[in-house]
Amino acid sequence: MATIINDLKNLFQRGEVHIRLIFINVAVFLAFTLVQIVLMLFNISISDWLQWLEMPASLTQFLRQPWAIITYMFMHAGVMHLLFNMLWLYWFGQLFLYFFSARHLRGLYLWGGICGALLYLLAYSVFPFFTPYADYSFMLGASAAVLAIVAAVAYREPDYRVNLIFLGSIPLKYFALVVIGLDLLFITADNAGGHVAHLGGALGGLLFAYMLSRGTDLTRYINKVLDFCSNPSVISLKSHKPKMKVNYGGKSAENADAKVNPDTERVQTADERNSQQADKQARINEIREKIKQSGYQGLTEEEKKELFNASIR
């Protein structure tokens, strides 16, 4: 048993962000399922307790449990619910990492889930069709977070082709349009709250990709909070980092547009740094074009390593 636990721990530590998110979702599901089984043996229901971790449709109830805007996206109603969400997270999480960074994926999962929850809360508060059900409606699941990832990739690479059973290879933009369109069409059907949340997550993903293309990262502050929670000392060290003054040959390198290259012991200008960065970006763009033509498996090991190093910066 100890060996299995160690293997799972090592797999979690070595895994990409989407693998870790899958581990967390599965672990939460198993933990609550086991607790539910134990309590049922004593004729105790856990459903009333679980509602405190699910996203309520009522604004009044939400103010009593604001943490639910985060916890709900790690909860699932059953094995099939969990399985489908985790399969989508695995497939599109892997695809997301070809074009964005691991930090973006981590932040977007939460950003998409939050956007889905807020639209769900807004819809049940504003539209008369939903308001009669608001007081006893609750939502759970990672669907909104996952659809944010799907929408972001579709915006970034709309012509990237995905292979689907029975349908063959189709551009990602059409796949995303069908998925989002179905949620829009069934917004008043069964699981209406889920469809609303899916739309919120998709809109959050589109907004993230659009703003990132304009130079604004909507996940920046989410990632800062996560960094602080995982290692508070990182924030404090960065905020108190002393300014350094480097002297070479009696001259001080105080110019913010220059930095020292330890290999050549000379000052590297901003133009040189920009040129190097442009060359690296051009190389990454070439690799991404190759992915669109022959898929990720068509890359060499060196190209995979370059793409991975670019994703974690």
Do 151 and 177 contact (CB within 8 A), yes or no?
no
What's 139's DSSP letter? E
* pLDDT at position 248: 41
The pLDDT of residue 290: 73
pLDDT score recorded for residue 308: 62
Please tell me the pTM assigned to this model.
0.74
| Ranges for all domains in the chain classified under CATH 1.20.1540.10 | 15-227
> How high is the pLDDT of residue 263?
47
What are the mean pLDDT values of the chain's consecutive 10-residue runs (313 residues total)? 73 84 95 92 84 94 96 94 95 93 95 97 94 92 96 94 82 92 87 92 97 94 91 54 44 43 50 68 76 66 70 51
pLDDT of 247 reads 43
Q: Report the Cα 151 to chain-centroid distance in Å.
A: 11
pLDDT confidence of residue 253: 39
Residue 293: its pLDDT value, please?
63
Please tell me the distance from the alpha carbon of residue 74 to that of residue 94, in angstroms, as a whole number. Answer: 19
Domain 15-227 falls in which CATH fold?
Rhomboid-like fold (1.20.1540)
- Helix, strand, or coil (residue 215): coil
pLDDT at 231: 77
Residue 213 burial (CB count, 10 A): 10
Smallest CA-to-CA distance from 303 within 313, 282, 286, 294 is with 286
